[in-house]
């Protein structure tokens, strides 16, 4: 009777059943969740891009709409991963106690958090891809090099999912998440070259922005969408991977302290 | 299955403190395979912490645990593969139907849909939810959810089932149904480990039990054995109905019982030969009384006192 799943044969796949659980729930509510993920950023992008863009000169040889589109892809991916790893993960951990239920099975907390990490990144890829599709449909993408944006979306998603899980491990209630946006996400979005080039900022502020994880994503996505190979690929990819690894390690430690005390 | 001789769970010298305060304090016990074992104690006695330690969900400061033949926490995963858990608070997935809850849970044990799909209808039947497979969790009553949680704990056909206060918050009908099912599981050879603070539940279900307080074991035995050894066989509870002068009655008739305890408005006369006390009560106006056999609750209260625990 006992046919084994992949995850039970390979220990490192322990996160997969947790991912499958989240996917199973999402599938039931997919349409509404997709529309929500897509509508807001697209409206902003088109509104600002066409409206503001008509007043603006080209930036780095591209129209403002194209410049903004690349920033929007990266920022939306970040937002999707952040939202999932904050609100939804917290709801599963704290309100529904789904994590407690899973911890009573052979799976461990690393499997639970791993599943949440990859799940939040998966949703982020989906969000980013949807915007990418819209951009392609309105004729802003001309080069197949743009397909390389997809793995970049995964890296951005993983990095911000890991950071979100840290904040979730510390959260006493849903209200706590507002600070993550006010203190971290919003300022970072403004100094990472999403809406405007950072050379408009004071040098020290631009320097901080360039070191933050969102800027790595923008630095990869923007050239790829313009049909160019990004400079310093290894640096940007490396920083995103490092953010993921360190973030996940810290989140695992903090969540262990919270749940397995 | 391991040999019947090896216990399903053995705990030795278990010690666990939070912020310097001992929660489990030198606890040792053994649960025989195929038996129902009760872990009893007032609120905050360390019952849930003991269960969490046994499942490897938190580390002990010292002591050894073997669950289903596996050392915990070193091989807690392998042990949990053979254990089903019914937690104190329901944590079913509200977004899934009853059937989906079981299928999703099976995956955590490494069992895929095909492997368990044929077991699911039988499990739902066992839980009295045969026609609720497609129901959302939010549409189920508290009793139904508890039974579904029990079915979920059985999804990987465990040898041992751990139940943390399985009937707390249920109405009498729902409790009786759970008790029936637990008896069936025991008859099928499963080992049951349960915590409860319902003494009638422990008296009905448990072969062996321990009473713990402040993390320490203060009594051990079968329910009958504990009642026989620890307390007088009969109790007469007396209370003042209408100006019956209870204090006066206690003062003059104390000698008719082995032991008298007063709690609030009620006096408990514990005795072996109740006839003369009953005769005295019949002659007394204004006092009301209940005469009954002693039970596990009397033992429990004698062991842990009458003060409220919060």
pLDDT digits (tens, 9 = 90+) for A54-66: 888 888 888 999 9
Residues A215 and A69 sit within 8 Å (Cβ to Cβ)? no
- Does B107 sit within 8 Å of A7, measured CB to CB? yes
Question: For the CA atoms of B27, B31, B37, B40, what is the dihedral angle to 10 degrees?
Answer: 0
What does the block give as tokens for A245? 């690894």
- Does A105 sit within 8 Å of B108, measured CB to CB? yes
**Residue B146 predicted with pLDDT over 90:** yes
**Residue B127 predicted with pLDDT over 80:** yes
Nearest to B245 by CA among B265, B264, B263, B259: B265
- Does B85 sit within 8 Å of A21, measured CB to CB? no
Question: Tell me, what's the pLDDT at B1?
Answer: 46
Taking the CA of residue A211 and the nearest CA in chain B, the distance in Å comes to 38
The C-alpha atoms of residue A146 and residue A227 are separated, in whole angstroms, by 7
Question: Tell me, what's the pLDDT at B62?
Answer: 97
What does the block give as tokens for A52? 């503001």
The C-alpha atoms of residue A37 and residue A26 are separated, in whole angstroms, by 13
Q: In percent, how much of chain A has pLDDT > 90? A: 80
What does the block give as tokens for A146? 């743009």
In chain A, residues with a C-beta closer than 8 Å to the C-beta of B105 are: 101, 105
Is B57 an interface residue toward A (CB < 8 Å)? yes
Sheet arrangement for strand B216-221: B83-86, B160-164, B191-196, B36-40, B208-213, B216-221
What is A157-212 written as a DSSP string? Answer: HHHHHHHHHHHHHH-SSTTHHHHHIIIIIHHHHHHTTSSS-GGGS-HHHHHHHHHS
Contacts with A, B 78-107, CB within 8 Å: 78, 80-81, 85, 87, 89, 91-96, 100, 104-105, 107
The C-alpha atoms of residue A169 and residue A249 are separated, in whole angstroms, by 12
In chain A, residues with a C-beta closer than 8 Å to the C-beta of B82 are: none
What digits encode the pLDDT tens for the residues B56-79?
999 999 999 999 999 999 999 999
Q: Which residues pair with B271 in a beta bridge?
A: B234
Question: Tell me, what's the pLDDT at B100?
Answer: 96
Q: Which residues pair with A5 in a beta bridge?
A: none
**Residue A39 predicted with pLDDT over 80:** yes
The C-alpha atoms of residue B155 and residue B57 are separated, in whole angstroms, by 20
Nearest to B37 by CA among B224, B198, B163, B166: B163
Region A164-181 average pLDDT: 97
Which range is most confident: A35-39, B4-8, B133-137? Answer: B133-137
Mean pLDDT (chain B) is: 93
Local confidence band at B310 (pLDDT 50, 70, 90 cut-offs): low
**Residue A164 predicted with pLDDT over 90:** yes
- Identify from B72, B82, B99, B110 which residue to disrupt to test chain A contact, counting A C-beta atoms within 10 A and taking the largest count: B110
**Residue B283 predicted with pLDDT over 80:** yes
Q: Is A57 helix (H, G, I), strand (E, B) or coil?
A: coil
Region A190-207 average pLDDT: 94
Question: Tell me, what's the pLDDT at B189?
Answer: 96
Residues in chain A: 261
Residue of A nearest to B81 (CA): A106
The C-alpha atoms of residue B156 and residue B163 are separated, in whole angstroms, by 16
In chain A, residues with a C-beta closer than 8 Å to the C-beta of B57 are: 103-104, 260
Local confidence band at B5 (pLDDT 50, 70, 90 cut-offs): low
Residue of B nearest to A7 (CA): B110
Is B65 an interface residue toward A (CB < 8 Å)? no
The C-alpha atoms of residue A137 and residue A42 are separated, in whole angstroms, by 12
Residues A118 and A159 sit within 8 Å (Cβ to Cβ)? no
- Identify from A106, A255, A259, A260 which residue to disrupt to test chain B contact, counting B C-beta atoms within 10 A and taking the largest count: A106
**Residue A1 predicted with pLDDT over 50:** no
Q: Which residues pair with B259 in a beta bridge?
A: B270
The C-alpha atoms of residue A142 and residue B146 are separated, in whole angstroms, by 58
Mean pLDDT (chain A) is: 93
Question: Tell me, what's the pLDDT at B285?
Answer: 85
Residue of B nearest to A98 (CA): B91
Residue of A nearest to B162 (CA): A104
The C-alpha atoms of residue A108 and residue B77 are separated, in whole angstroms, by 8
What digits encode the pLDDT tens for the residues A88-102?
999 999 999 999 999
Cβ-Cβ contacts under 8 Å between A and B: the total is 79
What digits encode the pLDDT tens for the residues B204-213?
999 999 999 9
**Residue B3 predicted with pLDDT over 70:** no
Angstrom distances, CA of residue A180 to CA of A82, A165, A216, B184:
9, 11, 19, 51
In chain B, residues with a C-beta closer than 8 Å to the C-beta of A106 are: 77-78, 80-81, 108-110
Question: Tell me, what's the pLDDT at A3?
Answer: 56
Cis peptide before A251 (omega within 30 of 0): no
**A38 phi and psi angles, rounded to 5 deg:** -95, -45
**Residue B2 predicted with pLDDT over 80:** no
């Amino acid at each position: 009777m006992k046919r084994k799943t992949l995850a039970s044969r390979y220990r490192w796949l322990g996160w997969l059943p947790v991912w499958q659980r989240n996917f199973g729930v999402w599938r039931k509510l997919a349409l509404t969740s997709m529309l929500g993920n897509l509508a807001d950023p697209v409206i902003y992008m088109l509104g600002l891009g066409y409206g503001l863009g008509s007043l603006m000169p080209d930036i780095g040889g591209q129209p403002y709409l194209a410049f903004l589109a690349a920033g929007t892809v990266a920022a939306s991916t970040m937002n999707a991963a952040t939202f999932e790893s904050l609100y939804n993960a917290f709801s599963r951990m704290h309100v529904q106690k789904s994590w407690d239920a899973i911890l009573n099975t052979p799976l461990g907390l690393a499997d639970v958090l791993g599943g949440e990490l990859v799940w939040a990144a998966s949703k982020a890829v989906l969000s980013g891809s949807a915007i990418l599709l819209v951009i392609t449909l309105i004729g802003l993408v001309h080069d197949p090099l743009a397909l390389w944006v997809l793995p970049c979306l995964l890296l951005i998603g993983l990095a911000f999912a890991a950071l979100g899980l840290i904040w979730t491990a510390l959260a006493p209630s849903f209200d706590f998440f507002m600070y993550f946006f006010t203190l971290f996400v919003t300022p970072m979005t403004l100094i990472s070259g999403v809406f405007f080039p950072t050379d408009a900022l004071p040098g020290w502020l631009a320097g901080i922005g360039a070191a933050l994880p969102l800027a790595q994503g923008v630095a990869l996505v923007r050239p790829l969408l313009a049909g160019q190979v990004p400079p310093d690929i290894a640096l940007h990819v490396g920083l995103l991977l490092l953010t993921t690894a360190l973030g996940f390690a810290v989140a695992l430690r903090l969540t262990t302290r919270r749940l397995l005390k | 299955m391991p040999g019947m001789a090896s216990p399903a769970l053995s705990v030795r010298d278990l010690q666990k403190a939070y912020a310097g305060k001992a929660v489990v304090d030198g606890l040792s016990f053994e649960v025989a395979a195929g038996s129902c074992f009760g872990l009893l104690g007032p609120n905050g006695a360390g019952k849930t912490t003991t269960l969490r330690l046994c499942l490897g969900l938190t580390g002990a400061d010292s002591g050894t645990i073997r669950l289903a033949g596996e050392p915990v926490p070193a091989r807690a995963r392998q042990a949990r593969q053979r254990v089903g858990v019914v937690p104190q608070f329901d944590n079913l997935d509200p977004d899934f139907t009853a059937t989906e809850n079981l299928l999703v849970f099976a995956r955590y044990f490494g069992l895929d849909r095909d492997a368990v799909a044929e077991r699911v209808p039988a499990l739902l039947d066992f839980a009295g939810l045969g026609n609720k497979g497609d129901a959302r969790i939010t549409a189920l009553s508290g009793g139904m959810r508890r039974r579904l949680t029990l079915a979920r704990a059985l999804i990987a056909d465990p040898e041992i089932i751990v139940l943390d206060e399985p009937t707390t918050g249920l109405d009498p009908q729902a409790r009786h149904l759970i008790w029936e099912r637990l008896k069936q599981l025991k008859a099928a050879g499963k080992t049951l480990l349960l915590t409860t603070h319902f003494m009638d539940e422990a008296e009905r279900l448990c072969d062996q039990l321990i009473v713990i307080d402040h993390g320490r074991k203060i009594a051990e035995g079968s329910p009958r054995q504990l009642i026989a050894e620890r307390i007088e066989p009969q109790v007469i509870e007396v209370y003042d109905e209408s100006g019956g002068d209870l204090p006066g009655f206690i003062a003059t008739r104390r000698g008719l019982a082995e032991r008298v305890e007063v709690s609030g408005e009620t006096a408990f006369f514990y005795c072996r030969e109740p006839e003369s006390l009953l005769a005295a009560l019949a002659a007394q106006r204004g006092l009301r009384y209940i005469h009954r056999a002693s039970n596990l609750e009397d033992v429990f209260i004698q062991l842990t006192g009458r003060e409220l625990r919060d």
